[in-house]
Amino acid sequence: MSDQTPPPESLLPYDDWMEQSLRQVVLHALDHAAAQGLPGEHHFYITFRTDHPGVVIPARLRAQYPQEMTIVLQHQFEQLTVDHEGAMFSVRLSFGNVPATLAVPLAAVTGFADPYVRFALQFRPPAAPQEEIAEPMVEAQAVAEPSPAPLGEEPQVVSLDAFRRRSTKD
C-alpha cells in the first residue's frame, strides 16, 4: 500500500469505542468529585443536550434551554451521584436561588472541561430526530454558575444567546 492510497474503511467501530471510553473519563471525574470534592481550583463545565431521552430537569429550565445547556460544578453543588451501571449522573444546583436536581445520561453529554488544567473533551451530539435535521438548529446555551457569588450576590444563569450571531431569516 502506497502513501497515496487512503486506508480502507474500518469494519470495526473504533471511533465509537474511543468516544465511549472518553465518556467514562467524565464519570470517573464526577465520581471523584462526589466522593472527595473538587481539589484546589478544579471545576467542571458540563454541556449536555436537554432534549436527550432520560434527561431530567425542571420544566422551567427545559423551556429556557430546550436543546442544550452548560452547568458549572465548582464550590456550591449538592448530592452529586454517579450511576456507572446506568451511565448517568445527578446533581443538585441552584438556579436563580431556586434549587433543582438534574439527572443527565452520559450519552446526553456533548462537552466536558476542567478549565483549571485546560482539559476538555468534546463528544458527538446524540442523533437528532429527523424533523430537526431538516432545519438548522439554533442552540441555547447557558451557564449555571453554582460558585459563591461575591458580596452576597446570588449566582446567575447567563444566556449566551446575546453573544451569538443572529440569523438573517428573522
Q: Whole-number mean pLDDT of the chain?
A: 78
In degrees, rounded to 5, the angle at the alpha carbon of residue 113 between the alpha carbons of residues 112 and 115 is: 170
- Per the document, the length of the chain is 170
Q: Are 43 and 29 in contact (CB under 8 A)?
A: no
Q: What is the spatial distance between Cα 71 and Cα 69, in angstroms, rounded to a whole number?
A: 7
In this prediction, residue 97 has a pLDDT band, given cuts at 50, 70 and 90, of confident
Report pLDDT for 127. 66
Give yes or no for residue 119 having a pLDDT over 80.
yes
Q: Report percent pLDDT > 70 for the chain.
A: 72
In this prediction, residue 96 has a pLDDT band, given cuts at 50, 70 and 90, of confident
Q: Report percent pLDDT > 90 for the chain.
A: 48
Q: How many CB atoms lie within 10 A of CB 158?
A: 14
Q: Are 125 and 49 in contact (CB under 8 A)?
A: yes
Report pLDDT for 128. 54
Amino acid code (one letter) for 56: V
User: How is residue 90 annotated by DSSP?
Assistant: E
What is the CA 146 to chain-centroid distance, rounded? 15
In this prediction, residue 7 has a pLDDT band, given cuts at 50, 70 and 90, of confident
pLDDT tens digit sequence for 21-66: 899 999 999 999 999 999 999 999 999 999 999 999 999 999 999 9
Superfamily in which the 14-161 domain is placed by CATH? SspB-like (2.30.30.220)
Q: What is the spatial distance between Cα 77 and Cα 91, in angstroms, rounded to a whole number?
A: 7
pLDDT tens digit sequence for 122-142: 998 766 544 444 443 333 333
Report pLDDT for 10. 83
**Predicted TM-score (pTM) of this structure:** 0.69
Question: What are the residue ranges spanned by the domains of the chain?
Answer: 14-161
Helix (H, G, I), strand (E, B) or coil at 71: strand
